[in-house]
Amino acid sequence: MILESTIEYMIAKQKLRLTLKDLGLERELVPATKSLSSHALVISGVRRCGKSTVLLQMLKRMDNEVVLFLNFDTPQLYGFSLLDFSRLDNIIDNQGPTILFFDELQLVEGWEMYVRQKLDEGFKVVITGSNASMLSKELGTRLTGRHISQELFPFSYREFLNFRGLAATKESLKTYLQTGGFPEFLENEDEEQLATLFEDVLNRDIVARYGIKDVKSLHRLALYLFSNIGNRITATKLKQPLSIKATTTVLSWFSHLELSYLISFLPMFSYSSKAQLINPRKIYAIDLGMVNVISNSITEDLGRKLENLIFLHLRRKYTELFYFDDKGECDFVAMQNSQVVELVQVCYELTPDNLKKEKNGLLQAMRFFNLFKATIVTFSNSDSIKEDQYEIMVVPAYQYLTQYN
């Protein structure tokens, strides 16, 4: 049980902290979240990617609205349960807000029932959290479709350019490949901050949340994945070198890492769901600045980093992403409503030695999906390739990330 006075004190304390926070660069997500109606708005994303700043930017657009903000991820509110919502209701009745902002509400078991109740009572509700389970199909069932989902990531390349006041060039792209997009890191470039964030996500969002006892093995797995971005992996092959006893444990940890947004696993395209589960998946990390701090890889491997960057760009746009491999590999197959809308190959530098391989892998995918235009993204090459009725545009990444939507 949490005392009503404790909840009220935390609301006042957090409100003060929030009002002192800099509004920062307006995020690209904000224009899509201007209006709230009878649906709860659910914003999820990795820790420290700027969710509280987005809340402030939304508040700025809401004139004459009384807002109550409460972050549940604080020691004073640990153990908050459904019964404690009645005490929160007393505070809401006294303060008279019209909008309720709840951060990390997924930490309270059964929170969906409370949100449904507040929606029925006519409140506008915004929920933010650092776990992708908030976007699950089960959530849609429990809220009976009364929610709109949005994901927030660290700064995109365009946001990075606006934040730093830079133009889209090879030089700024090279810097972005090194720094990544976590807002606070871009302010001070303190690498210890990213290392601490990595540990926080592992320990607070995974170890504590799921009761994991073999913490060292989990850390070894996360470090391995960050050091092997762009590569294919299977849980079975990782089990022995990382000294993890069961494949099911590795698979479970994969799921936790993905839900925390630290790691994404890209499946190989197949019309068979079973084949998608069996085939190796490719690894991508949430942020290249964090990769540069955490990875123990001894090679720079700029090609893999550029590939990771393009994955993050596509991940912001699409939820259905795959790689293609059938007598040639295509790095990214992007789909909307089960229809292929974009094919992308990534090659750091296109040369006479690798042109045939990169082109043929993309052409295989274009023929397979009956798509007549596709893209090869490079660091700085520009070109146009035509073969029969197929057209491939070779585009520098700094142009693709800012001009191709």
Residue 146 pLDDT greater than 80, yes or no: yes
**Which residue has better confidence, 191 or 37?**
191
Among 188, 158, 192, CA closest to 176: 158
The CA angle 11-14-17, to the nearest 5 degrees, is: 150
Domain regions of the chain by residue span: 4-151, 156-310, 318-405
Q: Parallel, antiparallel, or unpaired: how do β-strands 390-396 and 383-387 relate?
A: antiparallel
pLDDT value of residue 275: 85
Kindly report the pTM of this predicted structure. 0.94
Residues with Cβ within 8 Å of residue 343, at least 6 apart in sequence: 324, 330, 332, 333, 334, 362, 365, 366, 369, 371, 374, 375
Residues with Cβ within 8 Å of residue 291, at least 6 apart in sequence: 180, 226, 229, 285, 305, 308
**For the chain, what percent of residues have pLDDT higher than 70?**
96
**Which residue has better confidence, 386 or 139?**
386
CA 368 to CA 13: how far, in whole Å?
Answer: 57
**Which residue has better confidence, 76 or 38?**
76
CA 267 to CA 272: how far, in whole Å?
Answer: 12
* pLDDT category of residue 31 using cuts at 50, 70 and 90: low
* pLDDT category of residue 403 using cuts at 50, 70 and 90: confident
Count of C-beta atoms within a 10 Å radius of residue 373: 12
pLDDT value of residue 119: 93
pLDDT value of residue 405: 58
**Which residue has better confidence, 68 or 62?**
68
β partners of residue 330 = 324
Residue 386 pLDDT greater than 60, yes or no: yes
In the CATH scheme, what architecture does the domain 156-310 have? Orthogonal Bundle (1.10)
> Which homologous superfamily is 4-151 in?
P-loop containing nucleotide triphosphate hydrolases (3.40.50.300)
Segment 300-356, tens digit of pLDDT = 899 999 999 999 999 999 999 999 999 899 999 999 999 999 999 999 999 999 999
